[in-house]
Structure 1
Amino acid sequence: MTLTLSDTTPIAKGGERFVFIHPDNPDWLIKVWHERFHKKQEKRVPIVIKFLRLKRYWSLLNELTEYLAIRECAKPNLNHIQQIVGLVDTDLGLGMIVKAVKKENGELAPTTEDLVKNAQYTAEHDKALDEYFDWMRDTDIIIRDFNLNNLVWDELAKKFVLIDGIGSKPGFSLRSFSKAYNKKANFNRIQKFKTRMKKALS
């Protein structure tokens, strides 16, 4: 069965994909990688993209691989990344079904940037953010894009959840082969995130 999404307005548009509410389950979202992203990557890293077996789906595959890697690591903890439910065929291409992160009233969870902009960021969030950083160090997760817009606040569980930017860049990634290198890369991303937070809060 192929779901028709082309006549539906996405609830979010990112640099890589559109996000739709699943037509059969409002607690699920469907992420579909859009054509602009594929063309941009072909221009940015043409040699790398040329030799990929599945050119259109490297980002989807890397996110799925990272999700499975966290499941299999010494300290499996999926609480801080968006839960993957499965894959689905759509008229816009293959989509990834994920569990929506929501607020108590059923609305989608706010991003960290939303919390700051709306003056809702509190000491509770600050403590939870430090816990997220600890989790990020413990699990050796590979994150290629870590910013205030892809980290959302799970109001029900009182924790931060990463919903985007998971997995390595296309092609060969040293971070996949060296835990030490990946730890350093994650440390740098955490420091940059803290700098952005400090600037946003000032």
Structure 2
Amino acid sequence: MDKIVLKDDLLLAKGGERFCFIHPEDKLKIIKTLNPELKIHNQQNELEYIYYEYLYSNHKIEDLLNIAQCFGWVDTNYGKGLMFQRILDYDGEQSKHLRYYLRNNLLSKQQEEYLLNDLKYFLEKNLILFIDVSTVNLFCKRISEKDYKLVIFDGLGARRKGIKLTFYMKSKLFSKYKIKKQWKKFLLNCAKDKSYQ
């Protein structure tokens, strides 16, 4: 398979450890690569891939609509990249982060409550670990003119390799505890964004 060449004009975002590029041959996909300038990595792509494999072996893909779909590894000029679904609004525009909607007060109270309740139900029902609960790690996808869906595209599983990730994947009790703990942090982050000036 040919190496995918990722150029600066395709760069969608830079995170703490990774770059996110629009796939040059498929605008409906993105590729996450490690930042080559960093000497030390937490191997976020590896961790994310392990966790997605776990999710896909325990759930039907149609039950995981609140997370970006992972398509596996590709070879790029930045090294190994992990390919994902690109989150777009119903009109084909790039979806915006939840933070954007909260800071700009673009959701009604009812819309916000519905979206948060829907996401919480999804996480608890499927035992999904949303660990890095920043509001920039999920998109508020417009599915029609007035309707939205929250889609997590980063921050799943664990922040670093270790025994905790194994516990999360093996113990429902531990997962439930962690989901509740992270949900409280997530709500605090939402409140901070809403009060941001």
With normalisation by structure 1, the TM-score equals: 0.82
Equivalent positions of 1:84-103 (< 5 A) are 84-103=70-89
Deviation sequence 1:80-125 (CA, Å, 0-9, x none): 1101123210010111111111123322111110101222122223
| Equivalent in the alignment of 1:159 | 149
The letter for the 2-side match of 1:68 is E
Change (3 A) 1:178 1:36: farther
Amino acid at match of 2:173: A
Residue 75 to residue 102, structure 1, CA distance change in 2 (3 Å): closer
Tell me which of 108, 119, 128 is aligned to 2:115.
Answer: 128
Q: Does 1:60 align with 2:45?
A: yes
User: Quick check: 1:82–1:162 contact (8 Å CA) kept in 2?
Assistant: yes
The answer to whether the Cα contact below 8 Å between 2:67 and 2:153 also exists between their aligned partners in 1 is yes
Q: Between the two proteins, what is the percent identity of the paired residues? A: 26
C-alpha deviations, 1:45-74, integer Å up to 9, x for none?
xxxxxxxxxxxxx42232122223223336
Distance 2:64 2:37 in 1: 30
Deviates further, 187-196 or 4-13: 4-13
- The match for 1:110 is 96
The alpha-carbon distance between structure 1 residues 3 and 119, as it changes in their structure 2 partners (threshold 3 A), is same
Q: Provide, for residues 155-183 of structure 1, a one-character-per-residue CA deviation record: whole Å limited to 9, x for no partner.
A: 12731111001122212223233221121
Give the unaligned 5+ runs of structure 1. Answer: 42-57
Consecutive unaligned residues of structure 2, counting only runs of 5 or more, are: none
Q: How many Å apart are 1:11 and its aligned residue?
A: 1.2
1:59–1:167 CA contact under 8 A, matched in 2: no
* 8 Å Cα contact 2:10-2:23 kept in structure 1: no
Q: Which runs of 4+ in 1 moved over 6 A?
A: none
Q: Give the one of 58, 80, 105 matched to 1:119.
A: 105
2-side partners of 1:60 and 1:5: how far apart?
A: 17
How big is each residue's C-alpha offset from its partner over 1:119-164, in whole Å with a ceiling of 9 and x where there is no partner?
A: 2122223202211111111111233311211011121273111100
The size of the alignment, in residue pairs, is: 186
Whole-angstrom CA distance in 1 between matches of 2:91 and 2:23 = 18
Whole-angstrom distance in 2 between the partners of 1:108 and 1:92: 23
